[in-house]
A and B are shown apart, each in its own frame.
Chain A
């Protein structure tokens, strides 16, 4: 009997790998969250105690809210900064685009720890920024808030995620026909009007994708806040990590991780959906996958 092989069946091995590697662990978190811990052993005594703890604890709620907040601020900042850059990139002559892509992405190759370390050097009391400001006699003493503060955390989160936002908007912007913008200008629109009414709707899918990605990356980041945030650097992820490792409180760690996941995914989806609505119906249809 001939076995008819259809390429779509290639999906199965991939789905299996992804299912076992990613979906299964998350489902196991669900299981772990309703177990109990006795003497450093997980006991199959089902209880919702850990969920109650997560739901009613102000600490965990604050941490999760912090994550959402970081994500929102970073998404907003990268969107605002990313648009001019992405539009400028889309206007580049074709020969330069390949180079521009490499230039944009190279800082990402360096790895998280290198970037964190580098910013620590730049922002420190004797680092670049303070040295320059003092050298120009703009300040007398080093600015302390630059490092180990919410400012440094958000700045580096912005730095890490900006290439993703720029890339997403850039891809979308490539498809915008300049003639539309010119037509709008010819009809009397001022530059910001042309942006709001022509470019923004047409690049909404890219902006939505970028927002989604940046939100997910920034809200879920653990290292940057913990290494650069000083006392403000406590994160939900850090709490999960210490609950899991040091306290061996797997049920609570699992419950908190799941709660964080659900909240972040919901926020990301809502955010991206809101951004997509900035685009016209035609922008959505044109992007529909075949």
Chain B
């Protein structure tokens, strides 16, 4: 077995240490977050299950994350395709523009957005939150999709066009299938960034309460294990959501393939316009 670098081990330990401590304390019987530990209990989780605000927050976060992932992937796809098209002038400027949401601190951007929104009468809330989070996702989505688009073989598309496909057909049947995994990845990144975000939610969420805001509002209270349990559940739920997204997207990708292959060849030819 190869020797694993000590730097790697130290890093993994550092990265996961606080999370493991959280998990440990969430099962601890004592209401104090102190060592030594004394006894295993699930009561903090039980009280959490009855906490309606928490459950609502979770559902809210989930519902907000989906459009963010979608919009981010869509805009990322458009940007990636535009970047690799030969006809793009102002390419450098476009790249800089794509990086702007990443470079400006999220709080500065959010404050500025709130100022603009209040002047034009646009309400804070779920819509504003979704749009603002999508904005921040775009640089990531573009980078992920562009990395794959750059490696596509243009010859296949040319062949399709030569065989008579319209630009839209060649896009839908040649380019898009090759981008499925990149699109799925971009969507997942969007969902993750939306779930994890607090800075943007703080300014733009208005009355909607995503999970991160609920947790943050509890932070100023004294530390207590039900807060702990909440953190662990957030952790696990986020991981589950990410995994669910991955599985669903994989299933969707392979289901499309199975459907196409199961259509008899002559039906396929007749269906093509």
Residues from 214 to 253 in B contacting A, C-beta threshold 8 Å? 215-216, 219, 223, 227-228, 231, 234-235, 238-239, 242
CB distance from B51 to the nearest CB of A (A): 17
CB distance from B263 to the nearest CB of A (A): 29
Determine chain B's interface SS by DSSP, over half rule: helix
Contact check, B25 vs A131: say whether CB atoms are below 8 A apart: no
Q: Evaluate whether A21 and B112 lie within 8 angstroms (CB atoms) in the complex, with A110-B19, A131-B35, A166-B11 already known.
A: no
Contact check, A21 vs B113: say whether CB atoms are below 8 A apart: yes
Q: Evaluate whether A121 and B223 lie within 8 angstroms (CB atoms) in the complex, with A14-B75, A29-B115, A88-B5 already known.
A: yes
A191: Cβ under 8 A from any B Cβ: no
The complex places the Cα of A220 from the Cα of B88 at a distance, in Å, of: 33
B104: Cβ under 8 A from any A Cβ: yes
A13: Cβ under 8 A from any B Cβ: yes
Contact check, B196 vs A108: say whether CB atoms are below 8 A apart: yes
B192: Cβ under 8 A from any A Cβ: yes
Q: Which residues on B sit within 8 Å (CB–CB) of A268?
A: 103
B85: Cβ under 8 A from any A Cβ: yes
Q: Which residues on A sit within 8 Å (CB–CB) of B112?
A: 25-26, 28-29, 254, 257
Chain B, residues 72-113, CB within 8 Å of chain A (1/0): the string is 000100110111111111000010011011111111110111
Closest chain B residue, CB of each to CB of A93: B2
Q: Which residues on B sit within 8 Å (CB–CB) of A13?
A: 75, 78
Interface size on B, residues (CB 8 A): 78
A17: Cβ under 8 A from any B Cβ: yes
Closest chain A residue, CB of each to CB of B34: A126
The complex places the Cα of A81 from the Cα of B150 at a distance, in Å, of: 32
Q: Which residues on A sit within 8 Å (CB–CB) of B98?
A: 14, 18
The complex places the Cα of A116 from the Cα of B88 at a distance, in Å, of: 43
Q: Which of B79, B215, B238, B242 is in CB contact (< 8 Å) with A14?
A: B79
Interface size bracket, A side: 35 or more
18 new A-B pairs (CB below 8 Å) besides A14-B78, A240-B111? A7-B85, A7-B87, A13-B75, A85-B11, A89-B8, A111-B198, A112-B199, A113-B212, A121-B228, A124-B33, A126-B33, A127-B35, A220-B108, A222-B199, A223-B199, A237-B105, A240-B107, A253-B111
Interface CB pairs A-B, < 8 A, 24: A11-B88, A11-B94, A15-B94, A17-B75, A18-B98, A18-B101, A21-B131, A22-B104, A23-B97, A25-B113, A26-B104, A28-B116, A111-B196, A113-B215, A114-B231, A114-B235, A127-B34, A135-B35, A162-B11, A223-B198, A244-B114, A260-B105, A260-B108, A261-B104
The 7 A-B pairs of least Cβ separation, nearest first, read A220-B105, A126-B34, A118-B18, A25-B112, A131-B35, A88-B5, A84-B7
Chain B contacts to A: CB under 8 angstroms: 2, 4-5, 7-8, 11-12, 14-19, 21-22, 25, 32-36, 75, 78-79, 81-89, 94, 97-98, 100-109, 111-116, 119, 131-132, 135, 138, 150, 167, 192, 195-199, 212, 215-216, 219, 223, 227-228, 231, 234-235, 238-239, 242
